[in-house]
């Protein structure tokens, strides 16, 4: 589909790296990225950007896209807004088109004591905002309420650590370190606790799961 030429929507495209790579890999397809901040990268002619907040509606007509891709939006979307957003994304899908959502479960696996305490406090903050930390695991049930068939699901485990999990572990650690730095003053009791909990990622071989759900719009 993509090699022959398809209309692709990247929801929450951020800096535009995924959309740019897709535009380069599939020159016959047209990639549209949508977000509230314009990507600061050079764009190929088949990569178009739209500045919009999808929570206010997806600004495209019915049955516009062959493939809609969503990832890492849970921090910015309240649990109660997900059904409406997914319904909007299905609306702009062509019959036979595919919707793919990738979200990370905020529950850590094999955390040490400091990291577990941080994780629980962090998730409490998210719940207070109306964000469901376990939303990634609920995506399959949300998909089943939509006119999508078949629905396929899976997950990927991402190790977190500087010493035990190679390049992937270091990349995951970098992401987590950025998160820790942002929220540390709200959830940590001691100044040196941030370093302790990051060190525990290596000691306890901590990992997180990202869940992927894919559904095809019924013809």
Model confidence over 153-164: pLDDT tens digits?
Answer: 999 999 999 999
- Number of other residues whose CB lies within 10 A of the CB of residue 138: 16
Q: Which residues pair with 67 in a beta bridge?
A: 8, 98
Q: What is the pLDDT of residue 182?
A: 72
| Res 190: pLDDT | 62
SS3 (DSSP) at 96: strand
> Any idea which residue has 């314009």 for tokens?
38
Q: At what angle do helices 166-187 and 113-129 cross, to 10 degrees?
A: 60
Mean pLDDT in residue range 37-64? 93
Q: What is the pLDDT of residues 53-85, one digit of tens each?
A: 999 999 999 999 999 999 999 989 999 999 999
pLDDT of residue 212: 98
User: How far apart are the C-alpha atoms of 103 and 122, rounded to whole Å?
Assistant: 17
CA dist 182 to 1, 14, 15, Å?
Answer: 41, 18, 19
Whether domain 53-217 has CATH 3.40.50.150: yes
What's the pLDDT score for residue 146? 97
pLDDT number for residue 192: 66
Q: With contact defined as beta carbons under 8 Å apart, do 112 and 144 qualify?
A: no
- 90-138: pLDDT as tens digits: 999 999 999 999 999 999 999 999 889 888 988 999 999 999 999 999 9
43 — pLDDT class (breaks 50, 70, 90): confident
Q: What is the pLDDT of residue 13?
A: 93
Residue range 41-61: mean pLDDT, rounded: 94
**22 token code pair:** 């897709």
3-state helix, strand, coil in the chain (%, to 5): 40, 25, 35
């Amino acid at each position: 589909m993509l090699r022959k030429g398809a209309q692709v929507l990247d929801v929450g495209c951020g800096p535009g790296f995924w959309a740019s790579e897709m535009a380069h890999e599939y020159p016959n397809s047209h990639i549209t990225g949508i977000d509230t901040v314009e990507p600061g990268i050079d764009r190929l002619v088949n990569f178009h950007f739209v500045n919009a907040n999808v929570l206010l509606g997806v600004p495209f007509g019915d049955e516009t896209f062959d493939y809609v891709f969503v990832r890492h939006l849970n921090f910015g979307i309240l649990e109660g807004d997900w059904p409406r957003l997914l319904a909007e994304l299905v609306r702009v899908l062509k019959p036979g088109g595919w919707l793919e959502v990738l979200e990370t479960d905020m529950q850590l696996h094999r955390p040490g004591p400091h990291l577990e305490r941080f994780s629980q406090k962090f998730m409490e903050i998210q719940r207070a905002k109306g964000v469901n930390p376990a939303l990634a695991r609920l995506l399959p049930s949300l998909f089943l309420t939509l006119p999508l068939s078949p629905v396929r699901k899976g997950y990927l485990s991402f190790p977190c650590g500087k010493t035990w999990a190679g390049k992937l572990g270091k990349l995951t650690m970098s992401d987590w370190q950025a998160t820790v730095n942002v929220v540390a003053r709200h959830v940590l009791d001691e100044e040196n606790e941030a370093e302790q909990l990051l060190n525990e990622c290596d000691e306890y071989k901590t990992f997180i799961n990202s869940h992927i759900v894919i559904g095809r719009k019924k013809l």
